[in-house]
Structure 1
Amino acid sequence: MSDKEYELNINPDWIKKYLIKIVFGLILFIGVLSSIRTVGPEEEGVVVQMGEFNRIVPPGLNFILPFGIETMSKIPVQRQLKQEFGFRTTDAGRQSEYAKTGFGEESMMLTGDLNLTDVEWVVQYRIIDSYNYLFRVRNPEKTLRDMAEASMRKIVGDRTVNEVLTVGRQEIATSVEILLQELCDEYQNGIRIDQVVLQDVNPPEPVKPSFNAVNQAQQERETLINQAEAEYNRVIPRARGEASETIQLAEAFALNRVNRAKGEADRFNSLFEAYQLSPEVTKQRIYLETMERVLPRIGNKVITDEKGNNVLPLLNLERKDN
């Protein structure tokens, strides 16, 4: 049979049915592919039917109406997201790499004392309401970025450049976090702010050496103040202890002198009373007691009469009989 005779024997109805089956199979295959959706474990699916919100589906395998009748948006509700300002992470890993070129406009800010500072920060957040995230605000990611930048500029604009660069960094981050959360609640964008982190805060490049010199001087001042306080805490308590000891010794000495003086006064008064009662006896007793104290201290004694005739040259009055 020739090729011409074979072509004439082909039934056109069979070809039409065959093509219909192929088209129907393709349509069915495309419909099945477009109706199967897999939602990740950290996500939930928001299904929109003919442009209107229909339902929220959980993680796992889900089915929607095919051919664009229903569409699904996957929202990472269990994942912490972040936005970077003033830089971008180009390679995340153990030693992450960052790029700053082209992002200077969003990080350069004016402080309250009319100085410029370069503030790099990160906003960490979570999506807690998929419906509000998709339907309350148009382009929620860009809206959040604009709100974060406006909040940071407002807080930095209320501080001096020294506060921004040194002691006020944590307070600034906390204030921006509170203000940004208030804006998210006001816009009802379904976002919860987890944390605002100041990645790096530097003065502009032309004045960075001067600022570094000022910071170094402030650190040296703090070091000297701490050393002075340590020396004060070491010397002053010891001086106070020595002063207290001296005062106690003086008080003890004064008490001893006063008590001794009172004792001598009482002894003199008692001696005076005895003298008033018997003057001669008292004088004789005083004389003998005085000689008893004085004579042992003289050493060798020579006793003579008034004319010097009878001499006792070696009278040892220090000798004591047992």
Structure 2
Amino acid sequence: MPTNVTPPPQGPWGDKPPAPPDLDQLFNDSFSKFQGFLPGGSFLNFFWLLLLILLGFTAWTSVYTIPSDSVAIVKRFGKYAREVPPGLHFKLPFGIESATTVPVKRQLKQEFGFTTSGAQDPFQNSLNHDEQRETQMVTGDLNAALVEWVVQYRILDPVKFLFEVREPSETLRYVSESVMREVVGDRTVDEVITIGRQEIESQALVKMQTLSTKYTMGISIDQVQLKNINPPKPVQESFNEVNQAQQEKEKLINEARRDYNKIIPLALGEKDQRIREADGYRLKRINEAEGDIARFDALLVQYVKAPEVTLRRIYIETMQQVLPQVHSKIIIDKSTSSILPLLNLEQSNKMLKIGEKR
């Protein structure tokens, strides 16, 4: 029976692939080459190797670099020795001196009630990973609110920051939470959610800085910023409905004030105009009456002197006022017994106007 024999693997040009290297042989060859660089026998070789390792470890534990936004606090056997600026520096090796980097030029922050991904500071977020507990607060009117906020701070004195308070970042979280609960507890839930946010931030900033100075933590609070403030979830829908009703109320009040400011000044202006017109009409009538009285008195004096002449003059002046208002005028001679001989003044005026146009 024919048997299937698997041919040995070949390379791309038909040759056999190289065998894998022997690791033991490779290690022995490398160690032999390393011994060739060392003078003396095997004991001296071990001594020089140990000395080389010791020098490398000494250099590794002696040289350190400080970033540009930080300083280093060097401790000798755990006691403060000196403060080192940014750059490349040396210290005593083998743990005699240790350097702790403190970012004095960087703005740090702590978040309460939420978490930012990628945070390198372990104290930036909640310590016990219970963000809900941090945000639960009771307001001054015995209502509950979920308050989220951020504290931004800087390290002013690295020596106090490291040696005066144990775990200063953790202490700052406790101080911030205590102060925020105190400030929120002095206000109503409406003030916390709406109009009192800026005042809460300012007051919390002052109190946090006061406690930080009292505890000699060596930090400066730059800003306290409130984020989301919501009622508890079981009553959140009802609270939103109340807020919408209040907003609708404010909207209607503003619209009424707008209409009031639009209509009332216009009415007041019309009122003043009517009053001024009435005063003008009153003065006009008074002046006309006084003028008529003066005219009548002057006419009476002339009438006493010459009654017939004055009567004729009054008659003529009256006709001058009356006749222009009469459109059709017919003048009849009183001595005529019939109505045929008459003078049509209306027709005469039309003929005169036609003649003038021609």
Q: Which bin holds the TM-score, normalised by the shorter protein?
A: 0.7 to 0.9
Of structures 1 and 2, the one scoring higher in RCO (CA 8 A, sep 6+) is: 1
| Partner residue in 1 for 2:114 | 87
| Partner residue in 2 for 1:217 | 245
By how many angstroms is 1:280 displaced? 4.1
1:122–1:293 Cα change, 3 Å: closer
| Partner residue in 1 for 2:299 | 271
| Aligned-partner residue type, residue 195 of structure 2 | V
| Aligned-partner residue type, residue 174 of structure 1 | S
| Aligned-partner residue type, residue 34 of structure 1 | T
User: Which of 311, 317, 322 does residue 337 from structure 2 map onto?
Assistant: 311
| Aligned-partner residue type, residue 204 of structure 1 | P
Alignment of 1:84-123 (within 5 A): 84-91=111-118, 102-123=130-151
Gaps of 5+ in 1: 1-12, 93-97
CA contact (8 A) 1:48 1:55 kept: yes
Cα distance in 2 for partners of 1:293, 1:110 equals 92
Cα distance in 2 for partners of 1:288, 1:83 equals 107
| Partner residue in 2 for 1:180 | 208
By how many angstroms is 1:19 displaced? 3.5
| Aligned-partner residue type, residue 63 of structure 2 | I
Number of aligned residue pairs: 301
Cα distance in 1 for partners of 2:224, 2:319 equals 100
CA contact (8 A) 1:302 1:311 kept: no
By how many angstroms is 1:159 displaced? 0.5
Where 2:252 maps in the other structure, the secondary structure is helix
Cα distance in 2 for partners of 1:31, 1:293 equals 132
| Partner residue in 1 for 2:52 | 25
Q: Is 1:197 aligned to residue 219 of structure 2?
A: no
By how many angstroms is 1:162 displaced? 0.8
| Aligned-partner residue type, residue 330 of structure 2 | N
1:272–1:101 Cα change, 3 Å: farther
> Quick check: 245-254 or 162-171, which moved more?
245-254
CA contact (8 A) 2:114 2:131 kept: yes
Question: What is the aligned-residue identity percentage?
Answer: 45
User: Which of 56, 71, 81 does residue 44 from structure 1 map onto?
Assistant: 71
CA contact (8 A) 1:128 1:191 kept: yes
| Partner residue in 2 for 1:260 | 288
CA contact (8 A) 2:175 2:208 kept: yes
Where 2:142 maps in the other structure, the secondary structure is coil
Cα distance in 2 for partners of 1:260, 1:180 equals 83
Where 2:267 maps in the other structure, the secondary structure is helix
By how many angstroms is 1:177 displaced? 1.2
| Aligned-partner residue type, residue 230 of structure 2 | N
| Partner residue in 1 for 2:182 | 154
> Quick check: 295-304 or 51-60, which moved more?
295-304
> Quick check: 55-64 or 312-321, which moved more?
312-321
| Aligned-partner residue type, residue 68 of structure 1 | G
1:29–1:115 Cα change, 3 Å: same
Where 1:175 maps in the other structure, the secondary structure is helix
> Quick check: 221-230 or 63-72, which moved more?
221-230
CA contact (8 A) 2:332 2:343 kept: no
Deviations 1:280-315 (A, max 9, x none): 44334334544565577483355546xxxx526344
